[in-house]
Chains A and B, each alone.
Chain A
Amino acid sequence: MSLYFTKDHEWIRVEGDTATVGITDHAQGQLGDIVFAEAPEAGKTLDKGGEAAVVESVKAASDVYAPASGEVVEANPAIADDPSVINTDPEGEGWFFKLRLADPSELDGLMDEAAYRAWVETL
Protein backbone atom coordinates (compact mmCIF):
# COMPACT_ATOMS: atom_id res chain seq x y z
CA MET A 1 0.00 0.00 0.00
CA SER A 2 1.27 3.46 -0.89
CA LEU A 3 -0.06 6.88 -0.01
CA TYR A 4 0.45 9.95 -2.24
CA PHE A 5 -0.59 13.59 -2.09
CA THR A 6 -1.23 16.34 -4.65
CA LYS A 7 -0.63 20.07 -4.45
CA ASP A 8 -4.42 20.44 -4.75
CA HIS A 9 -4.69 18.69 -1.36
CA GLU A 10 -6.04 15.33 -2.46
CA TRP A 11 -4.68 12.10 -1.10
CA ILE A 12 -4.63 8.78 -2.97
CA ARG A 13 -4.07 5.45 -1.27
CA VAL A 14 -3.03 2.72 -3.71
CA GLU A 15 -3.63 -1.00 -3.17
CA GLY A 16 -2.75 -3.05 -6.23
CA ASP A 17 -4.41 -1.45 -9.26
CA THR A 18 -7.14 0.31 -7.28
CA ALA A 19 -6.86 3.50 -5.27
CA THR A 20 -8.97 5.45 -2.78
CA VAL A 21 -9.16 9.23 -3.10
CA GLY A 22 -10.09 11.95 -0.64
CA ILE A 23 -9.12 15.44 0.51
CA THR A 24 -6.52 16.11 3.16
CA ASP A 25 -6.97 17.27 6.72
CA HIS A 26 -5.38 20.56 5.70
CA ALA A 27 -7.98 20.98 2.93
CA GLN A 28 -10.96 20.31 5.19
CA GLY A 29 -9.55 22.77 7.72
CA GLN A 30 -9.28 25.46 5.07
CA LEU A 31 -12.80 24.79 3.78
CA GLY A 32 -14.45 24.82 7.19
CA ASP A 33 -17.83 23.22 7.85
CA ILE A 34 -18.64 20.99 4.89
CA VAL A 35 -22.33 20.85 4.03
CA PHE A 36 -22.37 19.06 0.69
CA ALA A 37 -20.21 16.60 -1.20
CA GLU A 38 -20.79 14.84 -4.49
CA ALA A 39 -18.58 11.97 -5.58
CA PRO A 40 -18.46 10.69 -9.18
CA GLU A 41 -20.65 7.70 -9.99
CA ALA A 42 -19.21 4.25 -10.48
CA GLY A 43 -18.31 3.67 -14.10
CA LYS A 44 -17.27 7.21 -14.82
CA THR A 45 -13.85 7.66 -16.41
CA LEU A 46 -11.61 10.35 -14.95
CA ASP A 47 -8.54 12.03 -16.41
CA LYS A 48 -5.65 12.96 -14.19
CA GLY A 49 -6.07 16.57 -13.06
CA GLY A 50 -9.69 16.74 -14.23
CA GLU A 51 -12.66 17.65 -12.08
CA ALA A 52 -13.78 14.57 -10.19
CA ALA A 53 -15.97 15.66 -7.30
CA VAL A 54 -17.49 18.71 -5.65
CA VAL A 55 -17.21 19.70 -2.01
CA GLU A 56 -19.02 22.69 -0.53
CA SER A 57 -18.56 24.37 2.80
CA VAL A 58 -20.93 26.93 4.29
CA LYS A 59 -18.98 29.64 2.51
CA ALA A 60 -17.63 28.23 -0.73
CA ALA A 61 -17.64 25.51 -3.36
CA SER A 62 -14.47 23.68 -4.30
CA ASP A 63 -13.55 21.11 -6.92
CA VAL A 64 -11.78 17.87 -6.13
CA TYR A 65 -9.44 16.79 -8.94
CA ALA A 66 -8.51 13.28 -9.96
CA PRO A 67 -4.94 12.58 -8.77
CA ALA A 68 -4.65 9.93 -11.51
CA SER A 69 -6.61 8.67 -14.51
CA GLY A 70 -8.92 5.71 -14.27
CA GLU A 71 -12.44 4.37 -13.88
CA VAL A 72 -14.47 5.04 -10.76
CA VAL A 73 -15.40 1.73 -9.16
CA GLU A 74 -17.16 3.00 -6.05
CA ALA A 75 -18.41 6.30 -4.60
CA ASN A 76 -18.59 6.72 -0.84
CA PRO A 77 -22.29 7.02 0.10
CA ALA A 78 -21.36 8.21 3.60
CA ILE A 79 -20.17 11.63 2.43
CA ALA A 80 -23.47 12.34 0.68
CA ASP A 81 -25.48 11.27 3.72
CA ASP A 82 -23.36 13.17 6.23
CA PRO A 83 -20.82 15.51 4.62
CA SER A 84 -19.44 16.47 8.04
CA VAL A 85 -17.55 13.15 8.07
CA ILE A 86 -15.12 14.88 5.69
CA ASN A 87 -14.38 17.37 8.49
CA THR A 88 -14.06 14.78 11.22
CA ASP A 89 -12.20 12.01 9.37
CA PRO A 90 -10.96 13.38 6.02
CA GLU A 91 -8.22 10.84 5.49
CA GLY A 92 -10.31 7.87 6.68
CA GLU A 93 -14.12 7.50 6.64
CA GLY A 94 -14.44 10.71 4.64
CA TRP A 95 -12.96 9.26 1.44
CA PHE A 96 -14.67 10.29 -1.82
CA PHE A 97 -14.26 7.50 -4.37
CA LYS A 98 -12.28 4.45 -5.44
CA LEU A 99 -10.54 4.33 -8.78
CA ARG A 100 -9.16 1.57 -11.01
CA LEU A 101 -5.90 3.11 -12.13
CA ALA A 102 -5.31 3.42 -15.87
CA ASP A 103 -1.60 4.08 -15.56
CA PRO A 104 0.09 3.68 -12.15
CA SER A 105 3.17 5.49 -13.45
CA GLU A 106 1.12 8.72 -13.23
CA LEU A 107 1.66 8.57 -9.49
CA ASP A 108 5.38 9.12 -9.84
CA GLY A 109 5.17 12.90 -9.72
CA LEU A 110 3.08 13.04 -6.55
CA MET A 111 4.35 13.76 -3.03
CA ASP A 112 4.72 11.17 -0.32
CA GLU A 113 3.22 11.89 3.10
CA ALA A 114 6.34 13.43 4.63
CA ALA A 115 6.89 15.72 1.66
CA TYR A 116 3.24 16.83 1.65
CA ARG A 117 3.09 17.58 5.39
CA ALA A 118 6.35 19.53 5.15
CA TRP A 119 5.07 21.48 2.14
CA VAL A 120 1.78 22.36 3.87
CA GLU A 121 3.79 23.83 6.74
CA THR A 122 5.22 26.37 4.30
CA LEU A 123 1.80 27.60 3.08
Chain B
Amino acid sequence: MADVPDTDLDTLPLDAWHRTRGGRMVPFAGYHMPVQYEGIIAEHRWTRSHAGLFDVSHMGQLLVPLDEAEALEKLLPGDLLAMKDDRPKYSLLLNEAGGILDDLMITRRTDGFYVVVNGATKTGDMAVLEAAGVPFAYLAEQALLALQGPEAVDVIAAHAPGVADLSFMQAGSFDLAGTQAWISRSGYTGEDGVEISLPASAADRIADLLLADERVLPIGLGARDSLRLEAGLPLYGHDLDEQTTPVMADLSFAVNKRRRTDGGFAGAERILVEIDQGAVQKRIGFTVEGRQPVREGARILDSEGNEVGRVTSGGFSPSLEAPIGMGYVATGLAEPGSALTLEQRGKLFRAAVTAMPFVPHRYHRKGKSQ
Protein backbone atom coordinates (compact mmCIF):
# COMPACT_ATOMS: atom_id res chain seq x y z
CA MET B 1 0.00 0.00 0.00
CA ALA B 2 2.84 2.36 0.71
CA ASP B 3 3.65 2.42 -3.00
CA VAL B 4 0.25 3.72 -4.05
CA PRO B 5 0.70 7.26 -5.39
CA ASP B 6 -1.10 9.79 -3.22
CA THR B 7 -3.01 11.05 -6.23
CA ASP B 8 -4.73 7.67 -6.60
CA LEU B 9 -6.14 7.83 -3.10
CA ASP B 10 -9.61 9.03 -2.18
CA THR B 11 -10.30 11.28 0.75
CA LEU B 12 -12.81 10.60 3.50
CA PRO B 13 -15.54 13.13 4.28
CA LEU B 14 -13.65 13.86 7.51
CA ASP B 15 -10.19 14.16 5.89
CA ALA B 16 -9.62 17.77 6.94
CA TRP B 17 -11.13 17.07 10.35
CA HIS B 18 -8.54 14.34 10.97
CA ARG B 19 -5.63 16.50 9.83
CA THR B 20 -6.73 19.42 11.99
CA ARG B 21 -6.75 17.14 15.01
CA GLY B 22 -3.26 15.78 14.38
CA GLY B 23 -4.17 12.55 12.67
CA ARG B 24 -1.21 10.95 10.92
CA MET B 25 -2.63 9.97 7.53
CA VAL B 26 -1.56 6.79 5.74
CA PRO B 27 -2.83 4.99 2.63
CA PHE B 28 -5.35 2.29 3.57
CA ALA B 29 -8.00 0.61 1.44
CA GLY B 30 -7.57 3.27 -1.25
CA TYR B 31 -8.07 6.21 1.10
CA HIS B 32 -6.01 8.59 3.15
CA MET B 33 -6.84 7.39 6.66
CA PRO B 34 -5.65 8.35 10.14
CA VAL B 35 -3.41 5.64 11.62
CA GLN B 36 -2.98 7.46 14.91
CA TYR B 37 -3.34 10.79 16.70
CA GLU B 38 -1.75 10.74 20.14
CA GLY B 39 -0.29 7.24 19.91
CA ILE B 40 -1.67 3.76 19.43
CA ILE B 41 -1.25 2.54 23.01
CA ALA B 42 -2.82 5.63 24.57
CA GLU B 43 -5.70 5.53 22.08
CA HIS B 44 -6.21 1.81 22.65
CA ARG B 45 -6.37 2.26 26.42
CA TRP B 46 -8.65 5.28 26.12
CA THR B 47 -11.13 3.22 24.09
CA ARG B 48 -11.07 0.40 26.65
CA SER B 49 -11.76 2.85 29.51
CA HIS B 50 -13.78 5.73 27.97
CA ALA B 51 -15.04 6.26 24.41
CA GLY B 52 -13.12 6.29 21.13
CA LEU B 53 -14.41 7.88 17.92
CA PHE B 54 -13.39 6.02 14.75
CA ASP B 55 -13.97 7.13 11.18
CA VAL B 56 -14.80 4.02 9.18
CA SER B 57 -16.31 5.83 6.20
CA HIS B 58 -14.05 3.84 3.86
CA MET B 59 -16.35 0.87 4.39
CA GLY B 60 -19.03 0.27 1.78
CA GLN B 61 -22.69 0.80 2.65
CA LEU B 62 -25.16 -0.88 0.30
CA LEU B 63 -28.91 -1.25 0.20
CA VAL B 64 -30.50 -4.29 -1.48
CA PRO B 65 -34.27 -4.42 -2.11
CA LEU B 66 -36.12 -6.67 0.33
CA ASP B 67 -37.56 -8.81 -2.45
CA GLU B 68 -33.99 -9.88 -3.35
CA ALA B 69 -33.68 -12.03 -0.22
CA GLU B 70 -33.67 -15.28 -2.20
CA ALA B 71 -31.06 -14.00 -4.62
CA LEU B 72 -28.87 -12.84 -1.71
CA GLU B 73 -29.22 -16.22 -0.04
CA LYS B 74 -27.37 -17.73 -3.00
CA LEU B 75 -24.32 -15.69 -1.96
CA LEU B 76 -24.59 -15.54 1.85
CA PRO B 77 -25.15 -18.42 4.30
CA GLY B 78 -27.50 -16.46 6.58
CA ASP B 79 -31.27 -16.95 6.94
CA LEU B 80 -32.33 -13.76 5.17
CA LEU B 81 -35.91 -14.91 4.61
CA ALA B 82 -36.49 -15.19 8.36
CA MET B 83 -34.48 -12.13 9.44
CA LYS B 84 -36.13 -9.86 11.98
CA ASP B 85 -36.13 -6.13 11.35
CA ASP B 86 -33.34 -4.01 12.82
CA ARG B 87 -31.17 -6.91 14.03
CA PRO B 88 -27.75 -6.75 12.37
CA LYS B 89 -26.15 -10.10 11.62
CA TYR B 90 -22.58 -10.99 10.78
CA SER B 91 -22.37 -12.78 7.46
CA LEU B 92 -19.96 -13.79 4.72
CA LEU B 93 -19.85 -13.33 0.98
CA LEU B 94 -18.69 -16.66 -0.43
CA ASN B 95 -17.28 -17.97 -3.70
CA GLU B 96 -18.21 -21.24 -5.38
CA ALA B 97 -15.25 -23.00 -3.73
CA GLY B 98 -16.42 -21.98 -0.26
CA GLY B 99 -13.77 -19.28 0.11
CA ILE B 100 -14.57 -15.98 1.80
CA LEU B 101 -14.83 -12.99 -0.55
CA ASP B 102 -15.69 -10.64 2.30
CA ASP B 103 -17.17 -10.50 5.76
CA LEU B 104 -19.99 -8.07 6.36
CA MET B 105 -22.90 -6.94 8.50
CA ILE B 106 -26.42 -7.22 7.13
CA THR B 107 -29.58 -5.74 8.62
CA ARG B 108 -33.15 -6.05 7.43
CA ARG B 109 -34.66 -2.55 7.45
CA THR B 110 -37.97 -1.32 6.15
CA ASP B 111 -36.19 0.17 3.12
CA GLY B 112 -34.11 -2.90 2.23
CA PHE B 113 -31.24 -5.07 3.36
CA TYR B 114 -28.59 -2.68 4.65
CA VAL B 115 -25.14 -4.21 4.09
CA VAL B 116 -21.82 -2.87 5.39
CA VAL B 117 -18.75 -4.33 3.67
CA ASN B 118 -15.01 -3.80 3.99
CA GLY B 119 -13.45 -0.80 2.30
CA ALA B 120 -10.74 -2.70 0.43
CA THR B 121 -13.24 -5.21 -0.97
CA LYS B 122 -16.30 -3.09 -1.66
CA THR B 123 -15.67 -2.71 -5.41
CA GLY B 124 -15.26 -6.47 -5.81
CA ASP B 125 -18.32 -7.13 -3.66
CA MET B 126 -20.44 -4.88 -5.84
CA ALA B 127 -19.19 -6.73 -8.92
CA VAL B 128 -20.22 -10.02 -7.32
CA LEU B 129 -23.73 -8.68 -6.68
CA GLU B 130 -23.95 -7.37 -10.23
CA ALA B 131 -22.79 -10.68 -11.70
CA ALA B 132 -25.43 -12.47 -9.61
CA GLY B 133 -28.10 -10.10 -10.90
CA VAL B 134 -28.77 -8.64 -7.45
CA PRO B 135 -29.67 -4.94 -7.70
CA PHE B 136 -28.39 -2.60 -5.01
CA ALA B 137 -27.84 1.04 -4.21
CA TYR B 138 -24.35 2.14 -3.15
CA LEU B 139 -24.85 4.68 -0.37
CA ALA B 140 -21.82 6.75 -1.35
CA GLU B 141 -23.12 9.84 0.42
CA GLN B 142 -23.27 8.14 3.81
CA ALA B 143 -20.38 8.45 6.26
CA LEU B 144 -19.82 5.81 8.94
CA LEU B 145 -18.54 6.55 12.43
CA ALA B 146 -17.96 4.13 15.29
CA LEU B 147 -18.07 5.23 18.91
CA GLN B 148 -16.63 2.46 21.06
CA GLY B 149 -15.93 1.95 24.73
CA PRO B 150 -17.71 1.70 28.09
CA GLU B 151 -18.83 5.36 27.97
CA ALA B 152 -19.80 5.38 24.29
CA VAL B 153 -23.52 4.75 24.70
CA ASP B 154 -23.88 7.38 27.42
CA VAL B 155 -22.25 9.90 25.12
CA ILE B 156 -24.36 9.14 22.05
CA ALA B 157 -27.59 8.79 24.04
CA ALA B 158 -27.24 12.40 25.19
CA HIS B 159 -27.69 13.46 21.55
CA ALA B 160 -29.88 10.63 20.26
CA PRO B 161 -32.59 9.76 22.79
CA GLY B 162 -33.52 6.09 22.72
CA VAL B 163 -30.14 4.68 21.72
CA ALA B 164 -29.50 3.46 25.27
CA ASP B 165 -32.48 1.10 24.90
CA LEU B 166 -30.70 -0.88 22.17
CA SER B 167 -28.99 -4.13 23.12
CA PHE B 168 -25.93 -5.52 21.40
CA MET B 169 -26.80 -6.25 17.76
CA GLN B 170 -29.91 -4.10 17.64
CA ALA B 171 -30.27 -1.02 15.47
CA GLY B 172 -32.65 1.72 14.47
CA SER B 173 -33.14 5.11 12.90
CA PHE B 174 -32.61 7.98 15.34
CA ASP B 175 -32.62 11.73 15.40
CA LEU B 176 -28.99 12.56 16.19
CA ALA B 177 -28.82 16.26 17.02
CA GLY B 178 -31.07 17.13 14.09
CA THR B 179 -29.62 14.61 11.63
CA GLN B 180 -31.34 11.36 10.73
CA ALA B 181 -28.84 8.61 11.56
CA TRP B 182 -28.92 4.84 11.42
CA ILE B 183 -27.38 3.64 14.67
CA SER B 184 -26.56 0.06 15.61
CA ARG B 185 -25.22 -1.15 18.91
CA SER B 186 -22.25 -2.98 17.48
CA GLY B 187 -18.62 -2.50 16.60
CA TYR B 188 -15.35 -4.32 16.08
CA THR B 189 -13.40 -3.59 19.24
CA GLY B 190 -14.95 -6.00 21.77
CA GLU B 191 -16.33 -3.01 23.66
CA ASP B 192 -19.87 -1.77 24.05
CA GLY B 193 -20.59 0.97 21.56
CA VAL B 194 -22.38 2.04 18.42
CA GLU B 195 -21.84 2.43 14.70
CA ILE B 196 -23.46 5.50 13.17
CA SER B 197 -24.38 5.84 9.50
CA LEU B 198 -25.15 9.46 8.68
CA PRO B 199 -25.07 11.81 5.68
CA ALA B 200 -21.48 12.73 4.82
CA SER B 201 -22.56 16.38 4.79
CA ALA B 202 -23.30 16.14 8.53
CA ALA B 203 -20.20 14.14 9.50
CA ASP B 204 -18.04 17.13 10.50
CA ARG B 205 -20.71 18.62 12.72
CA ILE B 206 -21.57 15.33 14.43
CA ALA B 207 -17.92 14.37 14.89
CA ASP B 208 -17.29 17.77 16.51
CA LEU B 209 -20.33 17.34 18.73
CA LEU B 210 -19.17 13.93 19.96
CA LEU B 211 -15.59 15.08 20.41
CA ALA B 212 -16.78 18.01 22.53
CA ASP B 213 -17.62 15.45 25.20
CA GLU B 214 -14.59 15.03 27.43
CA ARG B 215 -15.10 11.25 27.47
CA VAL B 216 -14.37 11.06 23.71
CA LEU B 217 -11.08 11.11 21.80
CA PRO B 218 -10.46 10.46 18.09
CA ILE B 219 -8.87 7.04 17.54
CA GLY B 220 -6.90 5.87 14.52
CA LEU B 221 -6.67 2.65 12.56
CA GLY B 222 -3.66 1.47 14.55
CA ALA B 223 -5.64 1.13 17.77
CA ARG B 224 -8.62 -0.24 15.87
CA ASP B 225 -6.36 -3.09 14.77
CA SER B 226 -4.94 -3.83 18.23
CA LEU B 227 -8.44 -3.65 19.78
CA ARG B 228 -9.99 -6.08 17.31
CA LEU B 229 -7.02 -8.43 17.70
CA GLU B 230 -7.45 -8.51 21.49
CA ALA B 231 -11.17 -9.14 20.88
CA GLY B 232 -10.29 -12.17 18.72
CA LEU B 233 -12.02 -10.71 15.67
CA PRO B 234 -10.61 -11.62 12.25
CA LEU B 235 -9.67 -8.94 9.72
CA TYR B 236 -10.42 -9.43 6.06
CA GLY B 237 -7.32 -9.54 3.86
CA HIS B 238 -5.27 -10.81 6.78
CA ASP B 239 -7.09 -13.51 8.76
CA LEU B 240 -9.68 -14.13 6.04
CA ASP B 241 -9.30 -14.41 2.29
CA GLU B 242 -10.59 -16.34 -0.71
CA GLN B 243 -8.62 -19.43 0.32
CA THR B 244 -10.28 -19.47 3.75
CA THR B 245 -13.58 -21.23 4.39
CA PRO B 246 -15.97 -20.27 7.23
CA VAL B 247 -15.14 -23.51 9.05
CA MET B 248 -11.38 -22.92 8.83
CA ALA B 249 -11.93 -19.37 10.06
CA ASP B 250 -13.99 -20.59 13.04
CA LEU B 251 -16.96 -18.62 11.71
CA SER B 252 -19.38 -21.53 11.28
CA PHE B 253 -21.91 -19.58 13.36
CA ALA B 254 -22.47 -17.43 10.27
CA VAL B 255 -23.91 -20.50 8.52
CA ASN B 256 -27.49 -20.46 9.72
CA LYS B 257 -29.22 -23.63 10.95
CA ARG B 258 -31.75 -23.81 8.11
CA ARG B 259 -29.03 -23.21 5.55
CA ARG B 260 -26.99 -26.11 7.00
CA THR B 261 -29.86 -28.38 6.06
CA ASP B 262 -31.00 -26.73 2.86
CA GLY B 263 -27.66 -25.48 1.50
CA GLY B 264 -28.14 -23.47 -1.67
CA PHE B 265 -25.38 -20.90 -1.10
CA ALA B 266 -22.09 -20.50 -2.91
CA GLY B 267 -19.60 -23.08 -1.71
CA ALA B 268 -22.22 -24.99 0.30
CA GLU B 269 -21.01 -28.36 -0.94
CA ARG B 270 -17.59 -27.94 0.63
CA ILE B 271 -18.65 -25.90 3.66
CA LEU B 272 -21.36 -28.33 4.80
CA VAL B 273 -18.92 -31.23 4.61
CA GLU B 274 -16.42 -29.23 6.67
CA ILE B 275 -19.06 -28.36 9.26
CA ASP B 276 -19.76 -32.08 9.57
CA GLN B 277 -16.21 -33.42 9.43
CA GLY B 278 -13.99 -30.49 10.31
CA ALA B 279 -11.51 -28.59 8.17
CA VAL B 280 -7.85 -29.41 7.70
CA GLN B 281 -6.78 -26.09 9.24
CA LYS B 282 -8.31 -23.82 11.81
CA ARG B 283 -7.91 -20.20 12.89
CA ILE B 284 -6.39 -19.95 16.36
CA GLY B 285 -5.16 -17.28 18.74
CA PHE B 286 -1.77 -17.50 20.38
CA THR B 287 0.35 -15.80 22.99
CA VAL B 288 4.12 -15.52 22.63
CA GLU B 289 6.76 -15.87 25.35
CA GLY B 290 8.82 -12.76 25.89
CA ARG B 291 8.01 -9.30 24.59
CA GLN B 292 8.81 -9.36 20.88
CA PRO B 293 5.77 -9.29 18.59
CA VAL B 294 5.53 -11.98 15.93
CA ARG B 295 3.91 -10.54 12.84
CA GLU B 296 1.78 -11.60 9.91
CA GLY B 297 3.64 -14.01 7.62
CA ALA B 298 5.71 -15.77 10.30
CA ARG B 299 5.81 -19.54 9.98
CA ILE B 300 4.14 -21.75 12.60
CA LEU B 301 6.04 -24.98 13.30
CA ASP B 302 5.18 -28.13 15.21
CA SER B 303 7.51 -29.76 17.73
CA GLU B 304 9.43 -31.49 14.92
CA GLY B 305 9.98 -28.27 13.05
CA ASN B 306 7.46 -28.94 10.31
CA GLU B 307 5.48 -25.98 9.03
CA VAL B 308 1.87 -26.38 10.18
CA GLY B 309 0.58 -22.91 9.41
CA ARG B 310 1.18 -19.18 9.21
CA VAL B 311 0.60 -16.13 11.36
CA THR B 312 -2.12 -13.93 9.84
CA SER B 313 -2.23 -11.13 12.46
CA GLY B 314 0.39 -10.42 15.07
CA GLY B 315 1.11 -7.56 17.35
CA PHE B 316 1.54 -6.31 20.86
CA SER B 317 -1.48 -6.29 23.15
CA PRO B 318 -1.58 -3.00 25.09
CA SER B 319 -4.07 -4.51 27.56
CA LEU B 320 -2.05 -7.65 28.30
CA GLU B 321 1.34 -5.99 27.67
CA ALA B 322 2.36 -9.08 25.75
CA PRO B 323 2.64 -10.21 22.15
CA ILE B 324 -0.47 -11.93 20.78
CA GLY B 325 -1.60 -13.04 17.37
CA MET B 326 -3.81 -15.16 15.17
CA GLY B 327 -2.95 -17.71 12.59
CA TYR B 328 -3.92 -20.99 11.03
CA VAL B 329 -2.65 -24.37 12.15
CA ALA B 330 -3.44 -28.00 11.40
CA THR B 331 -6.68 -28.70 13.29
CA GLY B 332 -4.94 -31.25 15.54
CA LEU B 333 -2.85 -28.45 17.03
CA ALA B 334 -5.70 -26.00 17.51
CA GLU B 335 -6.61 -26.91 21.09
CA PRO B 336 -5.92 -24.15 23.66
CA GLY B 337 -2.68 -24.93 25.45
CA SER B 338 -1.02 -26.59 22.46
CA ALA B 339 2.62 -25.55 22.21
CA LEU B 340 3.74 -23.93 18.97
CA THR B 341 7.03 -22.64 17.64
CA LEU B 342 6.96 -19.51 15.52
CA GLU B 343 9.72 -18.54 13.10
CA GLN B 344 10.26 -14.92 12.17
CA ARG B 345 13.33 -13.66 10.29
CA GLY B 346 15.23 -16.81 11.27
CA LYS B 347 14.50 -16.47 14.97
CA LEU B 348 12.36 -18.98 16.88
CA PHE B 349 9.70 -18.06 19.43
CA ARG B 350 7.78 -20.24 21.87
CA ALA B 351 4.03 -19.72 21.74
CA ALA B 352 0.87 -21.38 22.99
CA VAL B 353 -2.60 -21.65 21.47
CA THR B 354 -4.87 -19.41 23.55
CA ALA B 355 -8.66 -19.25 23.68
CA MET B 356 -10.05 -16.05 22.19
CA PRO B 357 -11.01 -13.36 22.93
CA PHE B 358 -7.73 -12.42 24.57
CA VAL B 359 -9.57 -9.62 26.39
CA PRO B 360 -13.19 -10.36 27.41
CA HIS B 361 -15.93 -8.79 25.30
CA ARG B 362 -18.06 -6.21 27.05
CA TYR B 363 -21.06 -6.18 24.75
CA HIS B 364 -24.33 -4.97 26.23
CA ARG B 365 -26.59 -7.99 26.12
CA LYS B 366 -30.20 -8.05 27.32
CA GLY B 367 -30.68 -9.40 30.83
CA LYS B 368 -27.06 -8.88 31.76
CA SER B 369 -25.99 -6.04 33.95
CA GLN B 370 -22.44 -5.80 32.55
Residues of A within 8 A of B (CB): 32-33, 35-36, 38, 54, 56-61, 83
Chain B 335-358 against A: per-residue CB contact (8 Å), 1 yes, 0 no? Answer: 000000000010000000000000
How far apart are A47's CB and chain B's nearest CB, in angstroms?
Answer: 18
A-B pairs with lowest CB-CB distance, top 5: A35-B316, A33-B41, A58-B40, A36-B292, A36-B291
B contact patch SS: mixed
How far apart are B253's CB and chain A's nearest CB, in angstroms?
Answer: 30
Q: Give the CA-CA distance A83 to B291 in the complex, in Å.
A: 10
Please indicate the chain B residues that have their CB under 8 angstroms from the CB of A38 in the complex. 292
Please indicate the chain A residues that have their CB under 8 angstroms from the CB of B316 in the complex. 35-36, 56, 58
Q: Give the CA-CA distance A54 to B293 in the complex, in Å.
A: 11
- Asked whether A59 lies within 8 Å of B292 as measured between CB atoms, the reply is no
The closest CB in chain B to the CB of A56 belongs to: B293
Q: A32-B222, A33-B41 are in contact. Are A58 and B318 (CB under 8 A)?
A: yes
- Asked whether A58 lies within 8 Å of B222 as measured between CB atoms, the reply is yes
- Asked whether A61 lies within 8 Å of B295 as measured between CB atoms, the reply is yes
Please indicate the chain A residues that have their CB under 8 angstroms from the CB of B40 in the complex. 32-33, 57-59
- Asked whether B39 lies within 8 Å of A59 as measured between CB atoms, the reply is no
Q: Give the CA-CA distance A17 to B82 in the complex, in Å.
A: 78
The closest CB in chain A to the CB of B322 belongs to: A35
Q: A32-B222, A33-B40, A33-B41 are in contact. Are A58 and B315 (CB under 8 A)?
A: yes
Chain B 37-72 against A: per-residue CB contact (8 Å), 1 yes, 0 no? Answer: 001111000000000000000000000000000000
10 sample A-B contacts, Cβ–Cβ < 8 Å, listed by A number: A32-B36, A32-B40, A33-B39, A36-B291, A36-B293, A56-B292, A58-B226, A58-B315, A61-B295, A83-B291
Please indicate the chain B residues that have their CB under 8 angstroms from the CB of A61 in the complex. 293, 295, 345
The closest CB in chain B to the CB of A51 belongs to: B345
Q: Give the CA-CA distance A32 to B315 in the complex, in Å.
A: 14
Please indicate the chain A residues that have their CB under 8 angstroms from the CB of B35 in the complex. 59
Please indicate the chain B residues that have their CB under 8 angstroms from the CB of A58 in the complex. 40-41, 222, 226, 293, 315-316, 318
The closest CB in chain A to the CB of B40 belongs to: A58
The closest CB in chain A to the CB of B292 belongs to: A36
Given A58-B316, A61-B295, 4 extra CB contacts under 8 A = A32-B36, A58-B293, A58-B315, A59-B315
- Asked whether B39 lies within 8 Å of A35 as measured between CB atoms, the reply is no
- Asked whether B222 lies within 8 Å of A35 as measured between CB atoms, the reply is no
Q: Give the CA-CA distance A61 to B295 in the complex, in Å.
A: 9
- Asked whether B39 lies within 8 Å of A32 as measured between CB atoms, the reply is yes
Please indicate the chain B residues that have their CB under 8 angstroms from the CB of A33 in the complex. 39-42
Please indicate the chain A residues that have their CB under 8 angstroms from the CB of B291 in the complex. 35-36, 83
Q: Most chain-B Cβ atoms within 10 A of its Cβ — which of A32, A33, A54?
A: A33
How far apart are B235's CB and chain A's nearest CB, in angstroms?
Answer: 14
Please indicate the chain B residues that have their CB under 8 angstroms from the CB of A83 in the complex. 291
The closest CB in chain A to the CB of B44 belongs to: A58
- Asked whether A35 lies within 8 Å of B293 as measured between CB atoms, the reply is yes
Please indicate the chain A residues that have their CB under 8 angstroms from the CB of B315 in the complex. 58-59
Please indicate the chain A residues that have their CB under 8 angstroms from the CB of B42 in the complex. 33
From residue 277 to 294 of chain B, which have CB atoms closer than 8 A to chain A? 291-293
Q: Give the CA-CA distance A59 to B225 in the complex, in Å.
A: 9
How far apart are B218's CB and chain A's nearest CB, in angstroms?
Answer: 16
Q: Give the CA-CA distance A57 to B323 in the complex, in Å.
A: 11
How far apart are B1's CB and chain A's nearest CB, in angstroms?
Answer: 13
Q: Give the CA-CA distance A61 to B344 in the complex, in Å.
A: 11
